Chain A
Amino acid sequence: MSIPLVYVVWRAVDVPLSDITAVLMRPRVQELTLNTLGLSLAVALTALVMGVVIAALLSRVRFRGASSLLLISALPLAVPSYLASYGWLVAFPGLNGFLPSWLLLTAVTVPYVTLPVAAALRGTSAEGEAVARTLGLGPLRAFVDVTWPQVRPAAVAGALLVFLYTLSDFGLVAMLRFETLTWGIQQSFAASFDRSQAAILALLLVVIALVVVAAERSARGQVVTSRAKLATREPVGPLSRTLALLVVLAPPLVGVVAPLAGLAARLFQAETLRDIDLSRLGLATAATIGVSVLAALVALAIALPLAALAARYSGRWVGALETLGYLPHALPGIVVGLSLVFFSLAVLPPLYQTATILVFAYAVLFMPKALGTARSSIEGVSPDLVNVARTLGARPLNAWARVTLPLALPGLGIGALLVAIATMKELPATLLLRPTGVNTLATELWSRTSAGEFAGAAPYAAILVLVAAIPAMILSGVRRTAKEEL
């Protein structure tokens, strides 16, 4: 789990201190750092606001087909960021810079906030808000003063994931030509073959991530377990409802519909349409599903003990471990991939370029996605229940397995699904570590687009979004049943 970090430090340590400072002092590096910070903060903030607003709208406004709206709002998760930017570039080739990067990244990451906040809202009692209303507060004030503090931990945790995602994203910003630290890292590898310089920049990313993760832990607040009572839905005029609908649908439109439309347009533009090799498509799909399921399980296995510790104890060591778990998420895929090349060749050469090390890489990369939900779902189990189990004769581990685990399972399932989706979309580490000859949908998509075969790429893109959409939709559904059962 700390392998990428060890690797980055190892490579950076090779460099004399004077060189490190020289690199860091370079105005371009400072420019890249500012770009990275600016974009990540901007995206995290907008995703936070939008996510909370959408979740609130979905739970408080009476929509027709409300459950399918939640499903749809989860769809942007299924679209890889590079696909989103690619699709938009088809329609607007001149698109570049900060603004499009900001908007597109927000569109594809909003669900990271929406889904947990929607789940948290279902678990909160609307009574407090109702009381506040009788005391004279308007609906907005009531929400902000009463309900927001209860959903804050979920919202902030989601925003953290968005921040780390943006920090490490390469595909989208490269295509939109917005130069960030990940771009700098890529340049160091590609243009200068300078791995030490790349390591220094990666270290910068880690430092930024460290600061933000620490900040999130203090902003987290307490998880409140309360009896869920159904919230009253506000009656809302048709104009407001339409407006609300537009807000809810905005991210899926921008992040899913538009890029896919762009890709479809490409399909029709091409004069040469290669025959779709169905067996190849099938194999890639099977491989994609296979690794993502395994990665989800492994990530969960790693996250579970960590989350269990973090939920019960708040000592410094546990906090440090949790933070450590988040950091690799800030690194771009190529760095994580290379770190595992280094690691597996050093420690377990026979495992190099096997499915095992690939699944392990995914687990390392995406475990943080499972960590947050795992922790909060374990925290959500009342300690009274475990205490009762112990007085009934169950030893601590036994009580944990028979009581805490089954009750936390829906939340753990959510974490696993998030990891699965991220794995399906992953590209750079996959290219480095996959067994030679094995392809996932993402690598097939990449090899076609980089060879200019857009027509051939389209079916892979479509299947990729389709396959990733399945866990995304389960995600919005599972949360619903989970909360209602509890």
Chain B
Amino acid sequence: MNRKKRYKVIIGSICLFLLILGGTSLAAQKVINVWHTETNPLSRKAVANIVARFEKLHPDIKVEAEAVAWGDLEMKINAALAAGSPPELSHGQPITCAALQAKGLLLPLDEVVKSIGEDNIWDQIKKVGKFGDHYFGLVHAAGTSLLVYRKDLAKKKGLKNPKTWKDLLHNAKELTMDTNGDGKIDIYGVTIPGTNLFINILIGELTKANGGILFDDQNRPQFTAKPMIEILEFLKELTKYLPPGWEGHGYMETFANMSGEKAAMMYQGYGRGASLIEKYAPKHMANTDYFDVWVKPHGPSGTKPAAQVDEEPWMLFKGSKNPKEAIEFLKFFYQDDNYLEYIQTVPIHFFPVTKSLRRSKAYQETPMIKRWKGWLDVQERYLENDLVKPTLVIDWKDMATKPYLMEILGSGILKDMVMEVTKENVSPRKAAAKAQKRAEELVKDKGYAKW
């Protein structure tokens, strides 16, 4: 074959390739893209089943459901928005939802809320997605952060539910023990993750529990105020009872520490911990006689407990191709029998947003839910009494008025502040002042500074 011909063949093949691929995208079906963050196999299967049933009822719609690892979701949304082709539906953090909504990038989900029944959804849940008169986010499932503890060890030491941080420190001290007499500590009082996200969650919780705020009405950071200094001093004390290298512990390691008996309390446990305990802890210990939940304490300047709630809302993107079909899918998703299948994949962590499901017999009879009832009761108590908020949100109005929380989270300013105090021996005041300056710069840079 001579050169010219070879050249033509190559070009021709490339063109053919592109044509074929272009052709396949001209299929007659309407495709909706749904991105969610539950990558574990059981949840994906549940979603796949729900999708299959939905597609059967709506043969002209195809649902492409994708499970995206938490950390990568932001990157994907970023890329999608940059390319001008966002997915129809995606999970996201409440503060991400707030930020996107503020820029007009989301479409309302009022129709879905109506179809579920507005009164059927817990008030707390509704507040997450409501901006003004419309719902721009609808939580897929809630799961509050829990103070998990070793009941058997606490009983032995006569420890009770800590009411204040002082109590918590006392419990932590008691629970840090040398169990085999070799002079080395074998079990530490507490374990917390050192990752950016969790430190931010922790600061949000502690701030609320200490009666403080992160940003005032002019959006000025309040890191140098008394509540924050007390938080930093508390954390400094707490690190005495944390396993060494805690700053390198991710979320998973803290669970490993609990089930591997390296730690006796877990300040930021979540319902899914129950599944992990059942999987990895010694058989006789995988129940609430050994691992139970305390209500979180409040700080010296606060009065009520506070915890974070992991409640990612579904968001519907403006500019996506088939938003109407996506709304139909969501309505279908929340129907009790579909929703139940989803919820049952991570039963203790996925707290249903609908009262109808929570009260339903099928839900209550789920074996795992029966086994870990105590954990769910605490979560329901938190929700009913409005003691829980999303990451970095102190008051509900923050959702609508502070869209820069997303950037604060990503900047790591709060995490750096905590690390400086706990790992680098910087005084709380100095670290707080530095964080204050950085945060002020960021807020100003984003154009939200009103002071």
Task: Indicate, yes or no, whether A interacts with B.
Answer: no
- A residues whose Cβ falls under 8 Å from a Cβ of B: none
B residues near A (Cβ < 8 Å) are none
